Amino acid sequence: MSRMDEQGRVTLDEIDRKIIKELNSNGRISYTDLGKEIGLSRVAVQTRINALMEEGVIERFTAVINPERIGISVSAFFNVEVEPKYLQRVAEALAEEPVVTSLYHMTGPSKLHMHALFTDNKEMEEFMKEKLYILPGITSVDSQVLINRYKSRMGMRL
């Protein structure tokens, strides 16, 4: 069972790791089927998953949507340099945008790294002109459009 170490981090045992690995593979697996896979009862699996959620190890369950199948054809990555005094304000504004799928503060000169999905190039251009470029404190924007996805993984390796 998981437990906290002296730094307040959760230490996972081998059973927790197996549960997480199976959930990464199939988030819709039933507690009963998951229990059969790893050799625990349904109740034991449910108890462990609830504990992992309460400890913040499992943040949420979600569906992974293939954007191309629903007409979203442009996937773009942005490096946005921002004056330090505007960094938080710009990050909060971009985080509210529905097209933005991820946003990170990276090392370097107040750099935000952002991923966004658009139906087409026109929508990306409108976002850049009407939402991104108008934000105060932005000193440069570098964008790259994805050509082909070879690997994409949600979650993390244990």
Cβ atoms of 44 and 52 closer than 8 Å: no
Q: What is the mean pLDDT of each run of 10 residues along the chain (158 residues)?
A: 74 91 89 94 94 90 80 93 95 97 88 95 97 96 92 67
Buried/exposed 15-54: b ≥16 CB within 10 Å, e otherwise: bbebbbebbeeeeebebeebbebbebeeebbeebbebbee
pLDDT of residue 149: 83
pLDDT of residue 157: 62
pLDDT of residue 35: 94
What pLDDT, in 10s, does the model give residues 69-79? 888 899 999 99
Taking the complete model, does pTM exceed 0.85, yes or no? no
What pLDDT, in 10s, does the model give residues 6-17? 777 888 899 999
pLDDT of residue 84: 93
pLDDT of residue 52: 93
CA nearest neighbour of 82 among 8, 26, 137: 137
CA nearest neighbour of 79 among 117, 105, 118, 97: 105
